[in-house]
Amino acid sequence: GNSVTQMEGPVTLSEEAFLTINCTYTATGYPSLFWYVQYPGEGLQLLLKATKADDKGSNKGFEATYRKETTSFHLEKGSVQVSDSAVYFCALRSNDYKLSFGAGTTVTVRA
C-alpha cells in the first residue's frame, strides 16, 4: 500500500537558517506528491506539489523536487523566518483520490 515517512521532529532553528525536512514514500503507480503546512490554530494548507518525476514544486521560498529514483520529496528553504514555525506534512496521492500523509514535522524558528 501507499505510505509516507518523514523526518521526525521537533526541529528548532534560528532565523535565516537552512531548513530541510526529509520525506520518502512507497506507492504503486505514479503518485502526485504534496507538502501541506499547518500553522498554529489553523487548518492544513497546501504548500506545494509535484505531479511527476523531476518536477519541482515551490512556494513561499520553499522547494521540493520529486525524485523517483530515491522515492523522495524533501522540503527545503534557504532562510527561514519566525513565521515559518508550523507543522509540515508530506503527502502522496496515487492513482485514486486519497491522500496518504506522513506523521508531520514540527518546526520552530527562533528570532
Residues that bind other proteins (CB under 8 A): 4, 34, 36, 42-46, 49, 89, 91, 97-104
Q: CB under 8 Å to 41, separation ≥6 — which residues?
A: none
**Least distance from other proteins to the Cβ atom of residue 44, Å:** 4
Bridge partner list, 35: 48, 90
Q: Which three cell numbers stand for residue 47?
A: 504548500
Among residues 17 and 94, whose Cβ is nearest to other proteins?
Answer: 94
Among residues 17 and 99, whose Cβ is nearest to other proteins?
Answer: 99
Among residues 17 and 101, whose Cβ is nearest to other proteins?
Answer: 101
**Least distance from other proteins to the Cβ atom of residue 32, Å:** 9
Residue 107, CA distances (Å) to 19, 49, 58, 111 in order:
9, 19, 18, 13
